[in-house]
């Protein structure tokens, strides 16, 4: 097991009149001797740095390499012994938020992390708008926005860790199929048109410089493979982190984000599908919903007798909205307190001052305007709830069909890994109460946190995981559920709590 | 045996709803199936061309690849079957003249060739001036000049052959150590300072785009390895073309150009050295000397009785100077007709109107002003002759020491391969008469023509020759003759004809 890039400190014999070898040739010969690998790739850009490094190194230099099949690819050379400073960057390229983690590859510790809004939002809040924009010639603007976002994160984590960005010699990134295409500067819009074909699933290991990432120019950039248009490298990374393929037990990986995506299987088989119900659980569709960040209500409880809600807010400030976990909590609480029926309609005969008509729709007020940071009330409407139940129904239909196709029942699922920004904060009890999560004992649920970022980190720490990830992606049978004849039937009947 | 790049015409199955593979993945899978090679490098720039090629190819495309160790490196993809058009470019990067040859890799025929003055002459006629300029920060200007010269040649040969430069998918180039460094954009000036260390001898296979060469952007550019500061890839290419290492016979490769460089050996051992006597045989040092091109006197004969010279001119126009072969001819003829003694002094007691004092020096007039294109006389001075004899002495000293070191005599040399622009036109009789070539039967002399270009062409036609060239360079023991204690003694005594 070795990290994605490896550093070797070499003693380079001084040039002499008897030795006609070039400086670069002597470095390569020394590396061959050290590693026993006879094929060394030494890119032109590295050759160009040889004179200054040789001049200042006093016979000792450090070479960073990537193992690639039968050869080593040179990533950087530095004067002196710099083996103590060895850093990699894990990146989760989310549609809404891009997250990065700086890893000390010597200690295997995360030494800084950061998250930023994906600058692509300037060109569209949701994925569909951006896909449309890409198809209209906006690919390079979208690529620049994503790369700028990652560079901003690189700056932040490097400042926090007090290192130079050029000391980062390895990057591992995961994102959905669209983000992966856009990182590469490739138009992803064909993935939303029949026959829904990506340009590329298995991405070659790239160099930071090719993408405009401001780290060591030749740093390898590993991008997790997609499985198809609707199943991206973020899920593959999550499945890798969950270790689904390492066990006989049947596991389910659930990522409820822009789409409800899932991978079901074990070491012998893997199925995947997505319940594409639109971004109901993210901001925009549900009126008062927002991302999980300071000022968002993330937990809600409603009193059984008084119907008065209580809540907690991220950062303990007056709230301005609720995040996904708050949304699921409030629906579950409304249902459990008898304020909501199983079809998702309010039971208005239950007396509470919190029923109010807002914009032609009935709403339950979670926080009055005098308690909020925006001085506007925070509430949920029946329409909001219908949107969530559609997402839930799509998830249930997808999972039911996947289980059906292998003759398994929900109870056969031993482990449920939840991933995605939504899954981090979600209350398992609330999610199972409304049926968004399958009704299984809570000890079967494991939150991966940001599974995409975790998978990316694993590759940085163990280069062999690249092969595992590529094989994992190849082993997945993607079931196109939206066109499945049974989908709509199950979907309709699952729209109830 | 296969050409440097290989073209494969593939049938790509159309995308379908059941197949979640990306377009690039399907191309790669098809190539794997065709070739049995499981590792395919598919650079990002090629990925980016996939959508337009897939869109226009109607299921048939042609992929050009380079075999590289355990993998195939993708060079280009084109819609349709383009296997009939497969072109490579061989380049000789001379200090004075850069020559190129366009090779049809299907028929193995040279279909166009061209030569142009190296645009670097703007920064200095000779190598030393350019090395100095490079050391003063002029590297990139010198690189641009060389690359521009090659691009000009690419334009010329492609126009002549009526092909698009992007159809060239392989380049093989050879030049001296300085030209090789400058092509790569690396400062070569340290090679003229102790300990005379090049930055790099064995150059990785580059991509045309990295160097600014206007052919298929990912076309591999193979650059012949240097052996040391004074022995470059041009000699290695010549030795490869001569096949020195394929025989038990002892062979000598002689390249009399800016330096007098030589490789001596057979399949078991190889020695190399250079008699660095300055560019006596090129224009600039000898007053009326010029490059071998139209208007240059290339052959001279002097009548034994009348001492009247006759000559032939390249292009049959009134001459403006003499090229290297004319120069050697005239010295040999002056000596053989008794107008010159063995120390290189004119015997002025021989009566002829052709003795004239020009600029304080005695000269022999080869052509009076009324017979020349420039209306100025063409002549040779004693000083010119002393310069040539110094070059000759350096060559003799170098060869003597090389032979000495392996206990061989001149007569043990079975084959003498002459290379370089100088060697192409040189009269073996004249060169042996003045001792520039060893005195051996004329049937042992073989003119390689432009040996550097021939070696480059061999690599284009047979990729395995790359390994041969790299091994050849590694097998050569370079003998630093100028610092050899015996050099000056032999040099002094060899300054006589």
pLDDT at B7: 98
| B488-497 per-position pLDDT tens digit | 888 888 888 8
Q: Inter-chain contact A43–B200, Cβ cutoff 8 Å? A: no
pLDDT tier at B392 (50, 70, 90 boundaries)? confident
What's the average model confidence in pLDDT over A438-446?
93
Instruction: Pick the residue from chain B with its C-alpha nearest to A202.
Output: B25
How far from chain centre, in Å, is Cα B404? 28
- Quick check: A285 pLDDT over 70? no
Could you say which DSSP state residue B189 is in? G
> What average pLDDT does the structure give for chain A?
92
Read off the tokens for A254: 């659930």
Minimal CA separation from A224 to chain B, in Å: 14
| A69-106 per-position pLDDT tens digit | 899 999 999 999 999 999 999 999 999 899 999 999 99
Using a CB-CB cut-off of 8 Å, the residues of chain A touching B19 are: 195, 197
Q: Which of A246, A241, A300 is nearest to A270 (CA)?
A: A246
Per-residue b or e along B190-209, where b marks 16 or more CB atoms closer than 10 Å to that residue's CB = bbbeeebbbbbbbbbbbbbb
pLDDT at B273: 87
Task: Please report, rounded to a whole number, the percentage of residues in chain A having pLDDT higher than 90.
Answer: 76
Select the more confidently predicted residue: A419 or B355.
Answer: B355
CB within 8 Å of chain A, chain B residues 463-492: 478, 480, 483
Could you say which DSSP state residue B59 is in? T
Task: Please report, rounded to a whole number, the percentage of residues in chain A having pLDDT higher than 70.
Answer: 96
Picking from B28, B143, B197 by the largest number of A CB atoms within 10 A of its own CB, the best residue to mutate is B197
Closest Cβ opposite residue B17 in set A195, A210, A226: A195
| B159-168 per-position pLDDT tens digit | 999 999 999 9
Q: Inter-chain contact A199–B50, Cβ cutoff 8 Å? A: yes
- Quick check: A282 pLDDT over 60? no
Cβ contact B200:A50 at 8 Å: yes
CB within 8 Å of chain A, chain B residues 367-426: none
Closest Cβ opposite residue A195 in set B15, B47, B69: B15
pLDDT tier at B425 (50, 70, 90 boundaries)? confident
Using a CB-CB cut-off of 8 Å, the residues of chain B touching A229 are: 20
pLDDT at A39: 95
Q: CA-CA-CA-CA torsion for B17, B20, B22, B27, nearest 10 degrees?
A: -80
Closest Cβ opposite residue B47 in set A18, A41, A199: A199
Q: Angle at which helices B23-35 and B44-57 pack, to 10 degrees?
A: 90
Q: Inter-chain contact B44–A210, Cβ cutoff 8 Å? A: yes
Using a CB-CB cut-off of 8 Å, the residues of chain B touching A480 are: 17
pLDDT at A478: 87
Cβ contact B340:B331 at 8 Å: yes
Select the more confidently predicted residue: A493 or B118.
Answer: B118
pLDDT tier at A19 (50, 70, 90 boundaries)? confident
In whole angstroms, give the CA distance from residue B421 to residue B115: 11
Q: Inter-chain contact A51–B186, Cβ cutoff 8 Å? A: yes
pLDDT at B485: 80
Using a CB-CB cut-off of 8 Å, the residues of chain B touching A72 are: none
Neighbouring CB atoms inside 10 A of B346's CB total 18
| B126-184 per-position pLDDT tens digit | 888 999 999 999 999 999 999 999 999 999 999 999 999 999 999 999 999 999 999 99
Instruction: Pick the residue from chain A with its C-alpha nearest to B202.
Output: A25
Closest Cβ opposite residue B199 in set A20, A24, A483: A24
How far from chain centre, in Å, is Cα A126? 16
Q: Inter-chain contact A23–B197, Cβ cutoff 8 Å? A: yes
Cβ contact B400:B493 at 8 Å: no
pLDDT at A334: 96
Using a CB-CB cut-off of 8 Å, the residues of chain A touching B196 are: 17, 20
In whole angstroms, give the CA distance from residue B262 to residue B252: 7
Lowest-confidence range among A54-68, A80-94, A475-489, B373-387?
Answer: A475-489
| A39-72 per-position pLDDT tens digit | 999 999 999 999 999 989 889 999 999 999 899 9
| A295-346 per-position pLDDT tens digit | 999 999 999 999 999 999 999 999 999 988 899 999 999 999 999 999 999 9
In the A/B pair of chains, how many CB contacts fall below 8 A?
Answer: 134
Lowest-confidence range among A192-201, A333-342, B338-347, B372-381?
Answer: A192-201
Closest Cβ opposite residue B199 in set A51, A185, A480: A51
Collapsing DSSP to helix, strand or coil, B265 comes out as strand
| A209-218 per-position pLDDT tens digit | 999 999 999 9
Minimal CA separation from B195 to chain A, in Å: 5
Please tell me if residue A194 touches chain B, with a CB cutoff of 8 Å.
Answer: yes
CB within 8 Å of chain B, chain A residues 38-77: 39, 41-44, 47-48, 50-51, 69-71
pLDDT at A284: 53
What's the average model confidence in pLDDT over A368-393?
91
Select the more confidently predicted residue: B39 or B423.
Answer: B39
pLDDT at A489: 85
Using a CB-CB cut-off of 8 Å, the residues of chain B touching A206 are: 44
Q: Inter-chain contact A51–B187, Cβ cutoff 8 Å? A: yes
Minimal CA separation from B456 to chain A, in Å: 21
CB within 8 Å of chain A, chain B residues 151-190: 184-187, 190
Instruction: Pick the residue from chain A with its C-alpha nearest to B209.
Output: A44
pLDDT tier at B378 (50, 70, 90 boundaries)? very high
Collapsing DSSP to helix, strand or coil, A178 comes out as helix
Sign of CA dihedral A361, A363, A368, A373: negative
pLDDT at B423: 64
pLDDT tier at B360 (50, 70, 90 boundaries)? confident
pLDDT at A395: 87
| A222-234 per-position pLDDT tens digit | 999 999 888 899 9
Using a CB-CB cut-off of 8 Å, the residues of chain B touching A24 are: 199-202
Per-residue b or e along B19-35, where b marks 16 or more CB atoms closer than 10 Å to that residue's CB = bbbbbbbbbbbbbeeee
Closest Cβ opposite residue A44 in set B21, B184, B197: B184
Closest Cβ opposite residue A22 in set B25, B194, B201: B201
> What average pLDDT does the structure give for chain B?
92
Minimal CA separation from B459 to chain A, in Å: 20
pLDDT at B278: 52
pLDDT at A17: 65
Picking from B44, B48, B54, B272 by the largest number of A CB atoms within 10 A of its own CB, the best residue to mutate is B44
Q: Which of B331, B310, B337 is nearest to B427 (CA)?
A: B331
What separation in angstroms does the CA of B40 have from each of A382, B16, B66, B464? 54, 24, 10, 19
ipTM over 0.95: no
Collapsing DSSP to helix, strand or coil, A66 comes out as strand
Closest Cβ opposite residue A197 in set B15, B229, B478: B15
Q: Inter-chain contact B24–A185, Cβ cutoff 8 Å? A: no
Closest Cβ opposite residue B42 in set A41, A204, A227: A204
Minimal CA separation from B400 to chain A, in Å: 20
What pTM did the predictor assign?
A: 0.90
Contacts of B64 (CB under 8 A, 6+ apart): B5, B6, B7, B8, B74, B75, B76, B77, B78, B86, B169, B216
């Amino acid at each position: 097991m070795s990290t994605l890039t490896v550093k070797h400190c070499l003693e380079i014999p001084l040039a002499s009149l008897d030795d006609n070898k070039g400086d670069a040739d002597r470095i390569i010969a020394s590396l061959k001797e050290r590693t026993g690998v006879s094929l060394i790739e030494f890119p032109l850009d590295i050759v160009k740095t040889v004179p200054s490094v040789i001049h200042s190194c006093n016979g000792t230099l450090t070479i960073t390499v990537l193992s690639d099949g039968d050869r080593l690819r040179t990533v950087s050379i530095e004067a002196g012994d710099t083996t103590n400073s060895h850093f990699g960057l894990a990146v989760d390229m989310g549609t809404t938020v891009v997250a990065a983690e700086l890893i000390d590859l010597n200690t295997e510790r995360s030494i800084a992390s950061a998250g930023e809004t994906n600058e692509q939002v300037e060109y569209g809040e949701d994925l569909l708008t951006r896909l449309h924009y890409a198809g209209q010639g906006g690919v390079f603007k979208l690529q620049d926005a994503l790369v700028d976002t990652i560079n901003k994160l690189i700056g932040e984590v490097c400042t926090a860790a007090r290192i130079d960005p050029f000391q980062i010699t390895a990057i591992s990134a995961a994102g959905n199929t669209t983000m992966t295409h856009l990182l590469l500067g490739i138009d992803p819009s064909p993935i939303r048109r029949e026959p829904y074909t990506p340009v590329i699933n298995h991405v070659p290991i790239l160099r930071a410089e090719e993408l405009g990432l401001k780290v060591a120019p030749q740093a390898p950039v590993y991008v997790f493979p997609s499985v198809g248009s609707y199943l991206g490298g973020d899920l593959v990374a999550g499945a890798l982190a969950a270790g689904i393929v390492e066990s006989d037990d049947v596991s389910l990986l659930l990522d409820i984000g822009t789409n409800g995506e899932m991978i079901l299987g074990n070491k012998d088989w893997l199925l995947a599908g997505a319940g594409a119900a639109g971004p109901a659980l993210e901001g925009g569709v549900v009126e008062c919903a927002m991302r999980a960040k300071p000022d968002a209500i993330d937990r809600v409880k409603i009193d059984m007798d008084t119907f008065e809600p209580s809540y907690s807010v991220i950062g303990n400030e007056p709230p301005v909205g609720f995040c996904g976990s708050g949304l699921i909590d409030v629906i579950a609480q409304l249902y459990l307190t008898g304020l909501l029926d199983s079809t998702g309609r309010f039971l208005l005969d239950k007396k509470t001052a919190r029923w109010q008509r807002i914009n032609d729709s009935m709403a339950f007020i979670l926080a009055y305007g005098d308690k909020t940071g925006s001085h506007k009330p925070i509430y949920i409407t029946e329409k909001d709830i219908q949107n969530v139940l559609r997402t839930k129904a799509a998830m249930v239909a997808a999972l039911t069909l996947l289980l059906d196709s292998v003759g398994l029942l929900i109870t056969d699922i031993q482990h449920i890994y939840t991933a995605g920004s939504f899954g981090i904060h979600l209350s398992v009890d609330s999610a199972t109460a409304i049926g968004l999560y399958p009704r299984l004992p809570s000890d079967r649920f494991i939150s991966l946190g940001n599974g995409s970022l975790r998978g990316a980190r694993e590759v940085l720490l163990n280069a062999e995981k690249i092969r595992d990830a590529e094989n994992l992606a190849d082993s997945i049978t993607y079931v196109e559920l939206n066109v499945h004849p049974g989908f709509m039937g199950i979907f309709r009947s699952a729209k109830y709590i």
